[in-house]
Chain A
Amino acid sequence: GQNIDQPTEMTATEGAIVQINCTYQTSGFNGLFWYQQHAGEAPTFLSYNVLDGLEEKGRFSSFLSRSKGYSYLLLKELQMKDSASYLCAVRVYNNNDMRFGAGTRLTVKP
């Protein structure tokens, strides 16, 4: 089966850096996604990793280690609008089947 773990809640200060971790145990790993979801809204795509290493996209970066079953999402220069839930999702095999973690609720404080 699939097991995806991430912290339930995190708090950080505006302008700071925060790292949200995700560990997974899946069969047929074929990519890891991070989504952002504001309260009452649909998830929106942030990043994708399929090879080991760091992918940078503006203030957001995502890292993957396949051997460790580990990923993190790094948010820099935090803004109040970054307060949201961040969902880690793993795609299995080659058939677009996605499994989501429970999400990490990030609160950014002034």
Chain B
Amino acid sequence: DAGVIQSPRHEVTEMGQEVTLRCKPISGHDYLFWYRQTMMRGLELLIYFNNNVPIDDSGMPEDRFSAKMPNASFSTLKIQPSEPRDSAVYFCASSWNSGITDTQYFGPGTRLTVL
């Protein structure tokens, strides 16, 4: 398996623009997570899905952020409009509910820079 795939790997945009980050989880995994990592705040859980349904979005910072999972193999995280403080590395992770070791496997991340 190719692992969790994220695109783009790097994104540079200007304040006010819309940004869309994409994720393809590992085939067969039924949980998908979006995280944000910054030096100041560390790794933060933004939202996660189970079987394509959003379960907890309490980590989404504000209404400018939205996430969708239209099917089991694809998810998007959208920021509209983007702001410089959104600059961070955004990770997508997936896991399967095996009961004990629900290890999350992380994608390589998208480094977002908002100018």
Which residues on A are within 8 Å of B, measured CB to CB? Answer: 31, 33, 41-45, 48, 50, 87, 91, 95-103
Contact = CB atoms under 8 A, between A and B. Distances in A.
Interface in B75-115: 91, 95, 97, 100-109
| Residues of A contacting B: mostly | strand
B52 interface: no
7 contacts: A42-B109, A48-B100, A95-B56, A98-B45, A99-B45, A100-B44, A103-B43
Contacts, number: 50
Contact of B31 (A42, A50, A96, A99): A96
B42 A100 contact: yes
Q: Which of A42, A95, A97 has the most B CB atoms < 10 Å from its CB? A: A42
Given A96-B95, A97-B55, A99-B45, 4 more contacts: A43-B91, A48-B103, A97-B45, A97-B56
B50 interface: yes
A44 B100 contact: no
Nearest to A99: B45
Contacts of B48: 96-97
A95 B106 contact: no
Contacts of B100: 48, 50
B92 to A, nearest CB: 9
Contacts of B104: 45, 96, 98
Q: Which of A45, A87, A98 has the most B CB atoms < 10 Å from its CB? A: A98
